[in-house]
A and B are shown apart, each in its own frame.
Chain A
Amino acid sequence: MSMSRYECMQLLGARLNDDALVILSLGGSVDEWYNAAPHMREASLFQQQLGCVTPEALGLAVGLPHRRIVSLDTDGGLLFNLGALATVANEQPGNLFIVVWDNECYQSIGGPRTHTQAGRVDLAAIAQGAGIRHAYTARTLEEFDRHCADGLAANEPYVVVAKTDGILQPGIKRKHSDGREDKYIFVRHVEELEGITIMGPSEHN
């Protein structure tokens, strides 16, 4: 029994406004998030970086401790760098909510299996073993939504592994910007939110 990632995203998106910041992984989840939460487009960093997503979100969470940061990681991405969970546990960011979309496959390249497909590897248990007290698996939309509510209100790191069905939402608009453009959009949004300059003017214009 697994659920639609797109419907999960709609539930999560409904709980966010654009003063939260999101970093997400590569593949099909990019276009799905772009459509499921259109109000979060500028507040989301769309990256193509296996193993980078949660560490990057941790860096953002450490740099902006007053702001809610959401990492939308994946089974393939997290398995690429499991040590990131140990670092999150040691640092105990009170503002980092980690969602792991676990569809048990590398969907963006046609669906070869990841290590979770055989049913032995339990990412939530790995996160708990790494020292993240709140780490859960959600298999229904109701469970997922409840973990979103709890995770977004938590004052310690919170992980929910969402078991999703691997079916891409059909008929959605493709995001057509690249990682470089996405970075500028995201950074300008953070600058406006925080009232700061990140990518500032040169000495001479």
Chain B
Amino acid sequence: MRADAVEAVIRGLKRAGVSIATYLPDSLLKELYPALDADPDIRTIPVTNEGEGAALAGGVFLSGKRAVLVMENSGLRAATEHLARLGLGAGIPVVMIMSYRGEMGENNWWAIPHGVTMEPLLQTLRTPYTIVREVDEIEQAIVNAYETAYSSYHHTAVVLGGGIVR
């Protein structure tokens, strides 16, 4: 992941008022995780699977603080059960930032399912999302994701793809 993209993500999170980041690390956003860990304004909480991260982020919402769930897009599959219950069931929003594994041009066979399942799952979960491929669009996309999540009380997602992560 490009260094200027890492900075843009953190700028966006700060503008959105995020103080807690929960994540399960992946390779495409590899440089983002230590940068989040090192940021004095953000507490990071690594989790054992993305569903746990979704629930944790939901709990942070209930406290009045703002959280983000950062993961590979495959994490959406692990978190679907939790996201469905939190969002569709109770109206507790989780804002997600995920890498776009399996995008057109993917050269790993194992990553193909991640690309195949991501958008249908987001749509099934009625989760609005923005796919960002330009660094200068990252910050505002993140701010927008929080505005919509806190107006709809439902999940939103920012997907980082293209040259940002590859």
- Which residues of A pack against B, CB within 8 Å? 23, 45, 47-53, 55-64, 81, 83-84, 86-87, 90-91, 179-180, 182-183, 186-187, 190-191, 194, 196-200, 202
Q: B49 near A83 (CB under 8 angstroms)?
A: yes
B85 interfacial contact with A, CB 8 Å: yes
A23 x B64 contact (CB < 8 A): no
Min CB–CB distance A10 → chain B (angstroms): 26
Q: Judge whether B56 and A56 touch: CB under 8 Å.
A: yes
Q: Given A48-B85, A56-B59, A87–B45 Cβ distance below 8 Å? A: yes
Q: How many A-B residue pairs have CB under 8 A?
A: 124
Chain A minimum-CB-distance residue to B60: A59
Given contacts A49-B55, A49-B82, A87-B47, contact A59 B62 (CB under 8 A): yes
**Assembled-state Cα–Cα distance A197/B20 (Å):** 18
Answer whether A51 and B56 are a contact pair too, CB < 8 Å, given A62-B20, A63-B64: no
Bound-state Cα–Cα, A200 to B52, Å: 26
CB atoms of A58 and B48 under 8 A apart: no
A60 to B56, CA, bound (A): 8
**8 A-B residue pairs with CB within 8 Å:** A23-B59, A60-B62, A63-B60, A81-B48, A83-B49, A180-B91, A183-B62, A198-B61
Complex: chain B residue closest to A57, CB-CB:
B59
